Structure formats: C-alpha cells, structure tokens
Amino acid sequence: MQEQQLYPVSASSGQEALIDQRQYRAMYQLSIEQPVRFWAEQANCIDWIKPFSEVRDCSFDRQDLHIDWFRDGYLNVTANCLDRHLVAMGDKTALIWEADDPDESHRQISYRELYNDVCRCANGLLELGVSKGDIVTIYLPLLPETVVSMLACARIGAVHCVVFGGFSAEALADRIEDSQSRWVITADHSLRAGQQIGLKGNVDAALGRCAGNCVEKVVVVRRSGAAVAWHPQRDIWFSDLLAGQAEHCAPAVMAAEDPLFVLYTAGSANRPRGLVHSCGGYLVYAAITHRYVFDCQPDDIYWCTADIGWITGHSYVVYGPLANGASTLLHEGVPGYPDISRWSQLIDKYKVSIFYTVPTVIRSLMVHGNAAIRGTDRSSLRLLGSVGEPINPEAWQWFYRVFGRGRCPVIDTWWQAETGGIMIAPLPGATALKPGSATLPFFGVEPALFDGAGNRVEGEGEGYLVIRGSWPGQARSILGDPGGFYEAYFSQCPGYYFTGDGARRDADGYYWLSGRVDEVINVAGHRLSSSEIEKALVTHRSVLEAAVVAYPHAIKGQGLYVFVTLCADQAADEHCRQDLVEWLRLQIGGIATPDVIQWAPSLPKTLSGELVRRVLRKIAYDDCDHLGDISNLADPDVLQHLIANRVRPSPGV
C-alpha cells in the first residue's frame, strides 16, 4: 500500500522550519474553531492603509451569495510587494531573469529597481488614460516587464487580465471581448526553445476579429527586436511609455474587496470563465501560504517554474514571493532547451533553494534519467514542490531521491485558479509525507467528501471534494456572470464550494486527489475545457460533431482523445486529420493539440439525444470491459463501431 510509505518529518526537512507538527495542529484547530480570530491575526502579514474591523462576511446561498473578507480595510497590493521592503532590503534581488538562450546575459533586479520600474509604468498607464477599475490585458511571456506590468496595474487600481502567451489569436480575442479591455500590453515576440512566436501579430489578428473591439492602445515590449506591423495611432513601445516617467507614483488606496485581477480559466461551458480575485483577501492568502508551505526564509532563492499566465504564476511567481520579500527566479524558456539538464544547471547557477514545478516536467526529466541532472549537484536545494496535476508515486520518488538527492521534502500542493492559493499540502516541518498524496489541509481550509448520492463521507472514503465555508483567497465571482458563479461552484452541495475534483481520504486523514469529475481536462498541468475544444472543432467546415475526452498519458498526465464525425462530403484521411490539429492550434493554442483523433460515424447518445461521454472515456482509457449500463443508448451499434476502431495512442514517452 502506498500509504505505508511514510516519510517522517525529521528525515525530510530542516530543523528550523517555521511551523512544526505541534504548531500545525494547534494553528489548524484555531483556524477552524475560531476563524475570525485566526484570520484577524494572519492578516497582519500585510500592511493596511486603514485596518479592517470586520474579518469576514460570507454566504454561499443562491439568494445571497457574497464573499467578503476584511471588507472595511484599505490597502495597496504593490505597497506590500515593494514599498515596505525598500528601507530594509531595497538592494535585495527581487527578480532574477534568465533568458531562453543561455548565452544571452541574465538580469537581476533589486526591489528598489522593481519599485522604480513599476512606478514609471504606472505613470505611463495613467498617461494612457487607464484608471482605477479599468481592465488591462497582459499578453506577455515570462519577462520582468510582465511582472512590472501587473504591478503597475495594481499600483493604480487597474485590474490586470493576464492571458497565457501560448494562447492563439482567437483565444486572446475571446478574452479581450469578454473583459471589454481597452488596453493590451504585449511583446513583439516571445522566445521559447530558440523559436520566435509572434505575440504582436496575434494581438493584431485578435483585434481584427474582436466584435465591438474597444482596444485603444497596445503597448509593446521589444524582446526579439525583429520587425512587427505597426499602427502608429494605437501602438506604443513599452520603453517609450516608461521614458521620462517619474520614479514615484502614489499607490491607489484600494478597498480589500476591490478586484486585483481577472484570470480566465476553463470550466464546463464552452467559454472560459473570467475569475475575479480581490486585493485584500487574495494577498493575505498568497502571502501566508507562500511563507508556510514553502517555509520561505530571507536567504532563500525561490523558483516557481509556472508561466505567469496561469494562477500559479500569479500567486507563487509574483504576489506571494514579492509580498514576503523573496528573491524569485523567472526563466523565459523551457526545461529541455538547449538540453535536458538546463533546469538543473539553473538551480546550480543561482543556488536555488526552493524549486516548485509540475509533475509533467518531473516526468519529462525522469525519462531522460541522468541526462537531466548531468554535471550538476543541486546541493542548494532544500525544498521541492509540485502542483497542477496528481503526481504519481514513481515521479515523486524520482524527484525526491534523484533530483533532490533524498535531502528535500516533496511538497505536493493541491489548489485551483478559483482558490487563489494552496489548499491542501504538507508543511515541511510539520507533515510526514506520502508519495502521491497532497496530505493535509492548510489553515482555515475544511475539506469534505460527498458520494454520488449526495451524502457526506466521514472518515476513510472517497467522493467529490468540496470545501466547507470560505477562505480569504477564494475567487469572488465570474466577470459579468454572477449567476454562473453560483451555478458552477455552489449549486451542487449547499453551503460548500464544489471543487470539481475527486479525492480519497485515508485513515490518517490524508487526501489523495484523483482528477476532475467534470468536463475539465488537465493536460500537462494546463486546464482545458472539453466543451471549448468541441466548440472549436464544430466551427471547422468539415466537422459535423465532436467529443473530447482525456486518456492517461505517461508524461502529460492526460492527453486529448478526440472523436470526430465528419460532414458527409469530407473524406476521413490524414490530410483532414492534420487540418483539424492545425485548426485547434489556431483556435485555442498549442496546448489544445489533440493526441488522438478517432473518426466516428456518429457519437453515442441517449434516446433524448444527450451525449454519453462516460462510454467515450472508457474507450479512451481502453477499459471497454467496464462500460457500465449502456441500456439507454439510442443506437448500440455506434458504440460497437467505436470500440472496434479504437485508436491506440502512442505511450507518450
């Protein structure tokens, strides 16, 4: 049994951890029994311009859904991430930036320099007419300017909406349209594994097709220096925007519940959801989870490998580490370029002590064995973290034994874009580890499990994972769709937040996450919606119908298995297959590249015409002996045809 493999705290972490087992128990108990007192104390981890007197006021009821934390408090997020560090550690490195090309010189940016750049950028944005509450889209790769742009928005009370640079022009257009953003900050190109990707070109294309496009200005960071199309009335270089701006900009005074950012994420619907996160509660939660879960201390060099376009980048590249005054590394490139030992080399080069990444990366390094660590000793590491997808015990063991040389705890953190910060994870000085388990809840988090019949599962057991009550980092709404917010997260189990994940709780109360129970697919730790991909497919002229499910993939965790019914006049050939692959890359981005396309004469449906996705999953999982009840299928022959013609995916290694 995996549960037997227990890694006791003493064997896996330093003695000086911030929280030991006794403290964890006491603090956890306090956080659940007296949440108001607990959070009032924890909220002192940030500076308030005007302190709050009310800690929380939350209801998950349909008629009265509201989530308010520290409501009458006022703060500025950047004053916490920058200004308050200047006196004692203005010269401390805030950001270390390493380019895609190892021969290009790197950059180290101190807290004072970051402060100056953020203020200059904030003044530039003010000059462009951006004001409090306005939404600014940021479509940038991992550059210092990305962090500067986010913080510049927060400085003046604007709301940033970062769109992952790997999304296509179409996906960007959807997000700009939905958020009605009037400003876009982008780069000429992004550079990844030596390839140039035309971000500015994508912005031009997106704005060309946005219905009711209201973008006034496009600010462009010069990264590649290669030529780009230019609209003189609309486009401005980032460097010109900052040139001559004052290095001070008064921080906007924000109410705790004012929005800090919107971040689009995949849900069950065929449009992405713009989750709205708050200033006060979000920052408190990002800061304290970053401090306790990573045990982050002043001399640490911290590296979270996530792209800033995802929630992990927001909370654990930018806001958590900067609020805590940490030195944080950004790497523009990918783990395997120019060779597979690149990230191990970066760990040695910068003496990284905390390394936080995704299981997909761990597995992709693991298959290369020693080549992934060749010539490096990684002796600076003291803590390893994992996020984004379940980590299989083999990958955990390799990460622990080989990559971390058996000296660093592996901190498996379960959370979501909606939760704002880490919800279930071991604390390095407090929690014994079990490979593959995210272990125990963070302070203030009360997980629960419900079975399919809607009964709460007590003790050992499995079911849908839900969270009782609120925590400060929780998303506050879906932009423009408060009703959808209720339906998506609070309608399933009254009084609880519904995570969309399945989990098992073992005899020690440890949680083992098993994956999504809804139509969200997690490819390489990237969250995709099956209905969004299906929508994109059916807009292709050759496609009549499509269904997308996940299947287990050795490296990416899950791969995309696509069933397509073509229009009558379209031949099911290799040319068409390639065309559909390219189409999805254009409509959504490279992350939506299907691994398998199976031609389907039609899709399995019930008599009332509802797609029976469950049986498609069984086919994709090669588990056709356990199809379950199929008596409700309108045409059983369809299923037999699909089973007989199942495509065997490549193992992914």
Residues of this chain that interact with ligand PRX (CB under 6 A) are: 265, 310-312, 387-390, 412-417, 438, 499-501, 513, 515-516, 522, 527
**556 DSSP 8-state letter:** T
Task: Locate 158 and state its tokens.
Answer: 């604007």
- Give the nearest distance from C-beta 423 to ligand PRX in angstroms: 9
- Give the nearest distance from C-beta 518 to ligand PRX in angstroms: 9
Pairing type for strands 327-331 and 354-357 reads unpaired
How many other C-beta atoms lie within 10 A of the C-beta of residue 553?
A: 21
The CA-atom distances, in angstroms, between 405 and each of 131, 379, 383, 493 are 50, 8, 11, 43
Q: Based on CB atoms, which residue is closest to ligand PRX, 413 or 565? A: 413
- Give the nearest distance from C-beta 465 to ligand PRX in angstroms: 9
**Which is it for the CA torsion 27, 33, 39, 41, positive or negative?**
negative
Q: Based on CB atoms, which residue is closest to ligand PRX, 403 or 414? A: 414
SS3 call for 610: coil
Q: Based on CB atoms, which residue is closest to ligand PRX, 203 or 286? A: 286
C-alpha closest to that of 85 among 115, 49, 120 = 115
The residues pairing with 566 across neighbouring beta strands, listed in sequence order, are 543
Q: Based on CB atoms, which residue is closest to ligand PRX, 278 or 413? A: 413
The CA-atom distances, in angstroms, between 110 and each of 96, 105, 152, 201, 489 are 9, 16, 16, 32, 40
Q: Based on CB atoms, which residue is closest to ligand PRX, 326 or 513? A: 513
Give the span between the Cα atoms of 604 and 532, in whole angstroms.
19
Q: Based on CB atoms, which residue is closest to ligand PRX, 152 or 433? A: 433
The CA-atom distances, in angstroms, between 196 and each of 80, 189, 343 are 35, 6, 21
- Give the nearest distance from C-beta 311 to ligand PRX in angstroms: 5
Report yes or no: 277 and 259 within 8 Å, Cβ to Cβ: yes
Question: Starting at the edge strand that comes first in sequence, how are the strands of the sheet with 456-457 ordered?
Answer: 456-457, 446-450, 461-468, 496-505, 511-516
Give the span between the Cα atoms of 260 and 155, in whole angstroms.
10
- Give the nearest distance from C-beta 287 to ligand PRX in angstroms: 17
Peptide bond before residue 338 is cis, with ω within 30 degrees of 0 = yes
Q: Can you tell me which residue has the tokens 């989870």?
A: 289
Give the span between the Cα atoms of 65 and 546, in whole angstroms.
36
Q: Based on CB atoms, which residue is closest to ligand PRX, 265 or 477? A: 265
| DSSP sequence for 364-384 | HHHTTGGGGTTT---TT--EE
- Give the nearest distance from C-beta 337 to ligand PRX in angstroms: 23
Report yes or no: 523 and 500 within 8 Å, Cβ to Cβ: no
- Give the nearest distance from C-beta 516 to ligand PRX in angstroms: 5
Q: Based on CB atoms, which residue is closest to ligand PRX, 378 or 516? A: 516
- Give the nearest distance from C-beta 564 to ligand PRX in angstroms: 26
Q: Based on CB atoms, which residue is closest to ligand PRX, 425 or 639? A: 425
Q: Based on CB atoms, which residue is closest to ligand PRX, 230 or 621? A: 621
Write phi, then psi, for 250 (nearest 5 degrees): -60, 135
- Give the nearest distance from C-beta 5 to ligand PRX in angstroms: 17
- Give the nearest distance from C-beta 364 to ligand PRX in angstroms: 17
